[in-house]
């Protein structure tokens, strides 16, 4: 992953400022994307213990060499690596004890009840004998969104990576109608799309590619299956890629042959909702207002019930991250958006018996508005019998 030399220490400074505000003297980070953001380390396991002066990366045998290389590439002492022998929890407890931390933040959204209980019991029970009654027992303090909030605002290097990723995904999107032909199956088209994603320089698809044709298009998260495409089908193609660690995500609905009048109305409505939402994006606007812009257009056309998901989601090290662009919902943050945020705009309308349409692009919030990271014709039509696709 490309990281500017100064970004990791700066991220640590911001985490430590938040730790002081919360009155915690250590933070245990266990969510892999958050560990990656704070160290550059990529692995399916690992834990990070951050204190005012130290940032200790705990990894098992499989990752010791890779983690050591990463630490060596950072300014000295920014991250130190510790090998875990048998149990992550034992290693975490040992590091926390050594730090003498008394209020230890944990990531409540990512730590399981099982591990919370095991860590609590370990911290409470393992004090050296004879017990010193003057030493209070450390406590685990649930915290939320310490790292996730930082991750929302992309720095210059992250923005450049996402721009390049968006350009590459757009190239695939512009040719996507060529894949949609009579007689092909959803699975064949999905395989072609994933090959195109790798061919465009992505390290992998960002999620399982969706190709949903005909009646399946009315299922917002259908998986590609053996269904054979035929004339009249709408075909929802939702695909994304991971480029240098960062995810982009795009959807087009390609019409194969002539759409029914009811389907034509869906295309028009979703296209208008997509444009209305993008027009709304600028610093200071709440996510719920962007969502309302898309939802209002659909509701005005009698499609309020046909749009059951949110309008968008943040993009970055994860393909679904903050901010969520959705209706105001208790417990879901709705803070005004800020420059440097990157998210999708993806209204859809799904009507059983008619079909489904979704159009999705990625935007970067900039002063006064947004920059589109993906660009391709919103509506595309594929000819019924093998001819090249054209703009709709």
Contact at 8 Å (CB) between 329 and 290?
Answer: no
Report the alpha-carbon distance of residue 369 to residue 286 in Å, rounded: 13
Phi, psi torsion values for 330, nearest 5 degrees: -55, 135
| Burial class of residue 333 (count of CB atoms within 10 Å of its CB; 0-12, 13-18, 19+) | middle
Verify binding: residue 62, a second copy, rule CB under 8 A: yes
Verify binding: residue 20, a second copy, rule CB under 8 A: no
Verify binding: residue 208, a second copy, rule CB under 8 A: yes
Shortest distance, position 49 Cβ to a second copy, whole Å? 17
What is the end-to-end Cα distance of the chain in Å, rounded? Answer: 38
Q: Out of 20, 52, 61, 127, which residue is the one contacting a second copy (CB under 8 A)?
A: 61
3 state SS of 265: helix
Shortest distance, position 107 Cβ to a second copy, whole Å? 8
Question: Could you please report the per-residue DSSP string of 284-299?
Answer: T--HHHHHHHHHHHHH
Verify binding: residue 290, a second copy, rule CB under 8 A: no
Verify binding: residue 116, a second copy, rule CB under 8 A: yes
Cα 60 vs. chain centroid, distance in angstroms?
26
Closer to a second copy by Cβ: residue 289 or 332 = 332
Of residues 27-46, those binding a second copy (CB under 8 A): 42-44
Q: Out of 114, 132, 136, 353, which residue is the one contacting a second copy (CB under 8 A)?
A: 114
Report the alpha-carbon distance of residue 60 to residue 115 in Å, rounded: 17
Closer to a second copy by Cβ: residue 261 or 330 = 330
Report the alpha-carbon distance of residue 19 to residue 102 in Å, rounded: 13
Stretch that binds a second copy, among 123-131, 271-279, 324-332, 383-391 (CB under 8 A): 324-332
Shortest distance, position 189 Cβ to a second copy, whole Å? 13
Q: Out of 23, 142, 302, 336, which residue is the one contacting a second copy (CB under 8 A)?
A: 142
Of residues 328-367, those binding a second copy (CB under 8 A): 329-331, 352
Closer to a second copy by Cβ: residue 113 or 131 = 113
Instruction: Give buried/exposed letters for 213-241 (b at 16+ CB in 10 A, else e).
Output: bbbbbbebebebeebebeeebbbbbbbbb
Verify binding: residue 302, a second copy, rule CB under 8 A: no
Verify binding: residue 118, a second copy, rule CB under 8 A: yes
Token pair in block for residue 246 = 């960062």
List of residues contacting a second copy (CB under 8 A): 42-44, 60-63, 65-66, 86-87, 106, 108-114, 116-118, 142, 144, 191, 195, 198, 204, 208, 218-223, 308-309, 327, 329-331, 352
């Amino acid at each position: 992953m490309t990281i500017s030399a100064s970004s990791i220490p700066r991220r640590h400074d911001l985490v430590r400022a938040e730790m002081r505000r919360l009155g915690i003297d250590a933070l245990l980070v266990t969510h892999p994307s958050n560990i990656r953001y704070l160290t550059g380390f990529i692995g399916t396991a690992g834990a990070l213990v951050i204190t005012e002066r130290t940032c200790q990366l705990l990894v098992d045998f499989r990752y010791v060499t890779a983690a050591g290389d990463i630490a060596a590439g950072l300014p000295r002492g920014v991250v130190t690596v510790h090998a875990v022998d048998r149990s992550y929890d034992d290693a975490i407890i040992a590091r926390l004890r050594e730090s003498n931390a008394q209020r230890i933040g944990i990531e409540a959204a990512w730590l399981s009840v099982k591990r919370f209980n095991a860590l609590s019991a370990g911290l409470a029970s393992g004090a050296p004998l004879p017990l010193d009654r003057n030493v209070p027992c450390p406590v685990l303090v649930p915290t939320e969104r310490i790292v996730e909030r930082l991750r929302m605002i992309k720095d210059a290097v992250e923005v450049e990576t996402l721009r390049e990723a968006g350009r590459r995904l757009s190239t695939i999107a512009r040719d996507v109608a060529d894949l949609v032909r009579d007689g092909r199956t959803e699975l064949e088209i999905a395989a072609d799309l994933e090959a195109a994603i790798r061919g465009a320089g992505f390290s992998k698809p960002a999620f399982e590619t969706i190709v949903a044709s005909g009646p399946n298009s009315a299922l917002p998260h259908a998986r590609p299956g053996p269904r054979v495409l035929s004339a009249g089908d709408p075909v929802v193609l939702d695909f994304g890629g991971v480029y240098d660690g960062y995810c982009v995500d795009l959807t087009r609905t390609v019409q194969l042959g002539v759409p029914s009048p009811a389907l034509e109305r869906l295309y028009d409505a979703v296209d208008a909702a997509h444009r209305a939402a993008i027009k709304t994006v600028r610093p200071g606007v709440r996510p719920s207002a962007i969502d309302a812009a898309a939802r209002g257009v659909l509701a005005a056309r009698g499609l309020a019930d046909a749009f059951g998901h949110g309008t968008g989601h943040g993009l970055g090290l994860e393909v679904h991250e903050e901010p969520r662009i959705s209706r105001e919902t208790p417990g879901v943050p709705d803070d005004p958006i800020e420059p440097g945020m990157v998210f999708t705009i993806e209204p859809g309308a799904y009507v059983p018996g008619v079909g489904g349409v979704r159009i999705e692009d990625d935007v970067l919030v900039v002063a006064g508005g947004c920059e589109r990271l993906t660009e391709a014709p919103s509506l595309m039509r594929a000819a019924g019998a093998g001819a090249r696709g054209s703009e709709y």
